[in-house]
Every structure is written in C-alpha cells, then in structure tokens.
Chains A and B, each alone.
Chain A
C-alpha cells in the first residue's frame, strides 16, 4: 500500500500575527475542528505571557475559517473559565475536544493543576453549552481522574462517536523520569467508552505499542473512520531531552477495525519535519479531518505550537 502523501500548507494561524487579547498572546495548540454549514471552527489552546515566575496558564479558544483557510473570526474570550481554587483545572484548560450532541455542544478538556514534586498534574474535565462559543462546567471536579493503573497526567482527550457509542481517546501518565534532575512525564494512549458521554468505562490498556523505548511518550490520539477502518494519527517523543529536534515529537500512525486493537505503522504516515522553517524540529498534535472533499491534517511545529498551528492536505487516499 502506498504511503500517505501530504502537501504542506505552512502556518494556518499564529496568534502573534493578529490583534489578539492578552490571554491569547501566543501558542495555538492542539487544533480540533468542528464543521458548520458556512465555515469551520478550529478549537485550540493558547496562553497569556508567563507570570513573574515564568509559569503559564492556558485557555482554550477558537478561530473560524472558510474553505480556503481564510480567517473569518477569532474568539473574543476563552470558551471556558479557569477552575476554582484548589480544583483540577485551576491553572489551565488544554487541550479541548468538542462534539455536538443534538442541540448541545460538549467539551472534553484537560485541566491543569500545579504540584510540588513534579510541575503539574492533569485530569479530564467536561463542560457543555447550547452554543459553541462558551461552555459551562457541570461540576467543579474532573470527569476522568486518576485511577489504579492511571496514576496521574490524564490528558489529551479526543471525543468521537462511532456505532452509537462514545469513544474518548486520551493519554495517561505511567511514570515521571528525571532528566538532569527535572521530572518529565511519560504517558501512553488510552481509551474509555460511554453510552451517554458522561459515565465512562476505562479500557485500561495501552492502545499503541512503543517504538522508541518503554519511556516513549505518546499524545494526541486522533481517530478518523475512512474506507472501512479506523485510522489513528498521534504524536510521540523520547522520554528525555525532547524539546529539540533529536528526541522531539514526530507523528505516528496506527489502524484498527475494532477501536481496541491497533496496528502501528508509522511508515505509512508520510509526514515528517521539514528541512527548515516553522516545523523543522518537531511535528505534533495532529488532527485529521475532511472538508469539501479533501483530507487535511492540522498539526503543531517547533516549540509545540508556540508559533501557532499549520496544515497539510492529503494528495492520495487514506486507505
């Protein structure tokens, strides 16, 4: 089977190139598309400038694009407020995945809290709305939290609906490794299923086999159904020293017929870092979707989206 062929389109949206509010100073991370009749909305996560201690908070927002990828609108405020004192999402809401259920919009997001021995912890929260511009939590706690086999860093939710069931792909941390004394999280791709989108049953299984080593970290499990099977695009990195080109994020691929058992085949993915430019050191957080008969991938480049997200269009068929 011929590997995928992508034509890169460059950066699609970089907050720094627009008049954006202070809370959207930089970063456009983890793009996720929700189609509407006359445009399509890309949810992403962004940040104000860091505080005096160099620490960030993150908000989620959107940008609306037309079919030619021209920007129509940028969200005037975050789609969700930060959580209350001491709660799981007090310091960030990143990333976010939105699905429409009847007349209701539902957002699944990772909430960030700050810890003492490690820099952060995350759990997956849930918010909903009757319109897709702003969401409200249904409670102050997380929807998917830590459990026996998923002790910390529950993040990166991607909600999908297949065959009358909800599938929430996400990541769960399995250990913190020390890189020159600094704790770095290792996480793997996981799945939980639900009938109503609120009560989830964890599958408690690593879906994707490691390629680099057992300290490979995997993120952004993005699943699309096409030509009779499920295709997952995700990203992965080395356990240490991953903020540069050498061990930085690359995009991987796996396919499945039952959503539980996945066959990894990164060769097929057909996209890699560029020799120069905005995505020359790393590529990550892929989101693959179809629009007007074409298949696109939005993804992040160097510094995991600090300069925004870019895109590529598929030139052959996803088989």
Chain B
C-alpha cells in the first residue's frame, strides 16, 4: 500500500481545550459530515489526588484537514457515577453513525487496587449532531466474560451487510510486577456481532489477529474500513513490558486484511510508507491509536505519536 504522510494535524498544547486540559489528544476518531470532519479524542486532567482522568472533547476540521474550524464548547459526555465502569475516565470514544442516529462506543475506566484499572465498553447516543452524548444505562454493553477475563475496551463498530460488527480488545492476563516493572497487562483483538447495537455476541476469547512479537504482544485500537473490495484493519501493538520509554518496545502500527470479516491476514509491511525513518519527529519513538476512515472514497489514517499522544495526532493518506 502506498501512503503519504501529512504530518501532525493537531497539537493540544497549542490550544485551550475544554475542561482546562492542556495536554493529550489520544485516539482521534471521526464523524464525517457533509462539510466538515468532527474528530473526537481523549484529553487528560488530574483529579483531587493528582491522578489522571481521561475526558472527551472534539475539534472540527475542514474536509481536507488543513485547518481547525472549531472545538467542543460544552461537556461532550459526563463520566460515570460512583462505582460504575466509566467513573475514572473515558478513553477512547468511538462515534458511529447509523442512518440518522449518532452513537458513541466508550471505553470506560475504573480504578482497581491490585492492578491499576479495569475497563468495559459502554454505549451513548447523541441528539445534537454529536455535540453531546447521553449514556444508555449506567453499566457496560460489553464487559469481562469467562474467556475474556479483564480489560474489555477499544470498541470500534461498522455495519456491513445488515450486521453490526464490533472489533475490540480483551485482556488475557496481568503479569505480576518485578523489581523493575509494574504489573503489566496483555490484551488481544476480538470481534463481536449484533443486530441491534445493544446486545452483542462475542466469539469468547478468540484472538482474531496473530501475534508477530511473542505471546505477550499487546494489541489495541482496531479500526476497520472497506475499500477496493477488501476489509482493512489498522491497529497498534507493543511488547507487554518496558514499552513506555523504550522505543524498541513501544507501540507500532499493525495491519491486516480480510475478504470475509472472519479470516484476517496480518501484513504490517503494508504500512511501511507511514513509518518515519531517519529524522527525529513527533512520531519517531511511538505510533499508536490509529483510526481509519474515508472522505469521498479517499482513505485516511489518524494516529498518535510519541508519549501516547501527549502532543497530539497526525495523519496519513492512502495513495494507492
């Protein structure tokens, strides 16, 4: 595949964001309207105890993504109530347009004691063109189950041939801490289907994308687009430990394609054009949280760079 790097699109440290957030624009995900693109992402604030809280906002860009037209002016979605799955943050949020209805699939964060966090997927609906979302119920629509014991998150939904497909991640284990590493999660990409957006049938513990690193490879943020007769998936992956500051073990982008939405063939080299080699840039040390979408039949990829998107996101365009 031939891609053209468009470079960094948005740096949150150059903007005054909603909620007083000054950094992080993680996991950009889009709704394409007729004359602009709304790009949702997670920013971070700190709570009373100095702990991070992920909050949702968006910017609007023109269709060629050359300039920022505006940004969210009110809270896009509130965090969950005391003790609920999304009390301590929403990251990421994935909007989904279904005919005239605008939904968002949220990955809610809830803090734990023996491990930092547990996540589940919720759903919310918007009645104002995606400016704000209201959750449908205080609980999640997709959560842990017998063979997906922890960390269900990163839901991304498309409707193909009358069926809703969700790609998401599930945790397989937590690796105990060592003298040098905190507890470390391992998660894989899974798939579920639905006929009504609310009730989902999992494949229950089935990892749909093979590992290339090792069995503890962590896979995240699956994003799918149909183009030229094939289903294309871009996701990110990394080593389970020592991934935060060591660029050799940090997030990189992965790719797989499918003809039937059942069997996926992994071929990360299809993204070779996007990798920035040689120069020191915003995405040299890390590439993560990809989002595929199309505008007028042209495919684009948004993604985060160094430090998990602390300094924003950039774009690449599919040329061929």
Contact = CB atoms under 8 A, between A and B. Distances in A.
Interface stretch (A22-30, A142-150, A161-169, A260-268): A142-150
A90 B185 CA distance: 15
Given A85-B176, A121-B83, A150 B139 contact: yes
B137 A140 contact: no
A91 to B, nearest CB: 8
Interface in A131-151: 138-143, 145-151
Given A86-B112, A139-B205, A146 B143 contact: yes
A153 B120 CA distance: 15
B150 A117 contact: no
Interface stretch (B84-92, B93-101, B221-229, B290-298): B84-92
B74 interface: no
Interface stretch (A44-52, A108-116, A210-218): A108-116
Contacts of B113: 113-116
Interface string A75-119: 000000000111110110000000000000000000001111110
A240 to B, nearest CB: 14
A115 B112 contact: yes
Contacts of A178: 82
Contact of B150 (A87, A114, A173, A175): A87
Nearest to A149: B137
Contacts of B139: 146-152
A140 B147 CA distance: 6
A183 B137 CA distance: 20
B136 A116 contact: no
Interface in B135-157: 136-141, 143-150
A142 B185 contact: no
Given A85-B176, A121-B83, A148-B136, A113 B146 contact: no
Contacts of A6: none
Contacts of A113: 112-114, 118
A143 B146 contact: yes
Interface in A39-61: none
Interface in A163-196: 173, 175-176, 178, 183, 185
B143 A145 contact: yes
A126 interface: yes
A121 to B, nearest CB: 7
Interface in B104-127: 110-115, 118, 120, 123
A86 B150 CA distance: 7
A208 B218 CA distance: 44
A219 interface: no
A206 B296 CA distance: 49
Contacts of B136: 148
A142 B140 CA distance: 14
A117 B114 contact: no
B107 to A, nearest CB: 14
B52 interface: no
Nearest to B174: A86
A146 B140 contact: yes
How big is chain A's contact interface, by range? 35 or more
Main secondary structure of the interface of A (DSSP, over half): loop
A123 interface: yes
Nearest to B139: A151
Contacts of B82: 117-118, 175-176, 178, 183
B268 interface: no
Nearest to B140: A146
A124 to B, nearest CB: 11
Contacts of B141: 147-148
B272 interface: no
Nearest to A148: B137
A142 B120 CA distance: 13
B83 A115 contact: yes
Interface centre among A87, A141, A147 (most CB of B within 10 A): A141
A138 B146 CA distance: 7
Nearest to A126: B146
Contacts of B183: 85-86
Contacts of B123: 148
Given A117-B87, A118-B83, A139-B205, A86 B143 contact: no
B176 A151 contact: no
Contacts of B143: 145-147
B173 interface: yes
B112 A151 contact: no
Contact of A86 (B110, B114, B147): B114
Nearest to A145: B143
B198 interface: yes
A115 B110 contact: yes
A115 B140 CA distance: 17
Nearest to B170: A141
Contact of A175 (B81, B85, B114): B81
B149 A152 contact: no
Nearest to B115: A86
B171 interface: yes
A85 B174 contact: yes
Q: 8 tightest A-B contacts by CB? A: A148-B137, A151-B139, A141-B149, A116-B111, A86-B174, A139-B146, A114-B113, A86-B115
Interface of B: 80-85, 87-88, 110-115, 118, 120, 123, 136-141, 143-150, 171, 173-174, 176, 183, 185, 198, 205
Given A146-B140, A148-B198, 16 more contacts: A86-B149, A88-B149, A113-B113, A116-B110, A116-B113, A118-B83, A139-B145, A139-B146, A139-B147, A140-B173, A141-B147, A147-B143, A148-B141, A151-B138, A152-B84, A183-B82
